[in-house]
Structure 1
Amino acid sequence: MTQGFPMAMPGQRIGLFGGSFDPAHEGHLRLTRTALQRFRLDRVWWLVTPGNPLKAHGPAPLDQRLAQAREVLRGDPRVVVTDLEARLGTRLTADTIGALVRLYPRVRFVWLMGSDNLVQFSQWERWQEIAQMVPIGVMARPGSRVAARFSKAATIMADRRLPEGQAGRLTEMTPPAWVMVNMPMTDASSSAIRAMRQKSGDGRG
């Protein structure tokens, strides 16, 4: 594998968790650990994006966000913090996943998202192409479980949804396939942490 790209063995089950991580926090870590357990994943890769096209204001510098994300993980060997989108030169999730599927043809990837993202998933560019490439694991988050269940994407993909009790089979399924699982609730959010830092005069986030 090219230098700077994570190692992955054939047959490994790897969750892809993308976002600006501006900054990474305990909520990201809790979602990741829930995904590792419920979907029986071997690893989760955090794809720290250069920038989010859906957000009006740019995030903190990439190197700063990568370093902070590694601090939050506290050395958990199951989670890899990556700048893969910057290395691949991709900005859209569909392009990133497509490139990774080509680079790692024998790896079982799963796209991970919170239920708040499922609510707006149908607004993502080429979202149905994403669903055709990899199974999707959704973690319920505060205030969005019901909206996610009745979202446009969930309605369109209703016949491809696994029961929560079969979440451990997600990596074995041929996409499109998805499941939503409950997880311990947390109100932590990157925007709230940034607001607290600005109020306290800490400009890191």
Structure 2
Amino acid sequence: MARARPGRENFRLTMALLPPHAPGMRIGLFGGSFNPPHAGHALVCAIALRRLRLDSLWLMVSPGNPLKEAAGLAPLAERMAAARRLTRDSRVKVTGFEAKIGARYSYQTVEHLLQACPGVKFVWIMGADNLADFFRWRRWRDIARKLPILVIDRPGSTHRATRGLAAAWFERRRLPEKSAKNLAFRSPPALIVLHGPRSTLSSTQLRARQAALRSGD
């Protein structure tokens, strides 16, 4: 069920929480736990900004991923601070508004933003590993029907992502890479998978290294 349009006070609160935006702007939405953020995330931001010709990219640091264990999750403020150190590009805006509005699932985030930011041309951004598991997301088809989606290829995920259940659903809705510059204006469902520079870094590996260092291994 879609959320009701927020009242005046809640609407003002929402506006205060969100990065600057205006009707007609092309804004990428790149969400995740970012536990911790790393150079691979920065690469995704740079590729999306350039290829989609975005005005802004919102790096949405979530309170937690419903599909992952919460154990070992650093505090939200800590992850946001680390994300802000990730890139010097002023177009990348780090935000933790999902925790403030109580959005546990991505479809709730999408519904909220479409109500709060009419006229903004949002594009949902994810790595290929997330596309492989997209069918497990709560109401994933609703997300796909409301926003165009950009997928950035990742090492080890290409085969599984492009042959998974979600990829099959998108088969007739997938666009060529050369259409990326206009993706924000395409009517969803619309999917583009971009290939190019890739990073082998992962938050899981970084957490394991940090744990090993702490234990003296």
| TM-score, normalised relative to structure 2 | 0.89
- Could you tell me how far apart the structure 2 residues matched to 1:84 and 1:110 are? 17
Deviation (angstroms), 1:88? 1.4
Which whole-Å deviations, capped at 9, do the CAs of 1:62-82 have from their partners, x for residues lacking one? Answer: 000001111122x32010000
Among 70, 78, 88, the residue aligned to 2:84: 70
- Could you tell me how far apart the structure 1 residues matched to 2:139 and 2:178 are? 29
Specify the code of the residue in structure 2 equivalent to 1:52. Answer: N
Q: Check if 1:7 corresponds to 2:34.
A: no
Specify the code of the residue in structure 2 equivalent to 1:132. Answer: R
Among 36, 45, 52, the residue aligned to 2:49: 36
Q: Is the 8 A contact 1:15 1:43 kept in 2?
A: yes
| TM-score, normalised relative to structure 1 | 0.95
Give the equivalent residue in structure 2 for 1:89.
Answer: 102
SS at match of 2:17: coil
- Could you tell me how far apart the structure 1 residues matched to 2:92 and 2:196 are? 18
Deviation (angstroms), 1:89? 1.1
Among 140, 146, 161, the residue aligned to 1:127: 140
Deviation (angstroms), 1:183? 2.5
Among 159, 175, 186, the residue aligned to 1:173: 186
Specify the code of the residue in structure 2 equivalent to 1:71. Answer: R
SS at match of 1:179: strand
Matches within 5 A, 1:76-115: 76-115=89-128
Matches within 5 A, 1:185-204: 185-201=198-214
Give the equivalent residue in structure 2 for 1:24.
Answer: 37
Specify the code of the residue in structure 2 equivalent to 1:155. Answer: A
- Could you tell me how far apart the structure 2 residues matched to 1:57 and 1:184 are? 31
Note the aligned Cα RMSD (angstroms): 1.2
SS at match of 1:113: strand
- Could you tell me how far apart the structure 1 residues matched to 2:102 and 2:119 are? 22
Among 167, 174, 190, the residue aligned to 1:154: 167
Specify the code of the residue in structure 2 equivalent to 1:109. Answer: F
SS at match of 1:46: strand
Q: Which runs of 5+ in 2 are unaligned?
A: 1-11
Deviation (angstroms), 1:4? 2.6
Which whole-Å deviations, capped at 9, do the CAs of 1:107-128 have from their partners, x for residues lacking one? Answer: 0000000011101101111000
Identity %: 44
SS at match of 1:72: coil
Q: How many residues align?
A: 201
Specify the code of the residue in structure 1 equivalent to 2:107. Answer: A
Deviation (angstroms), 1:24? 0.5
Which whole-Å deviations, capped at 9, do the CAs of 1:50-105 have from their partners, x for residues lacking one? Answer: 111111234110000001111122x3201000001012111100000110011001
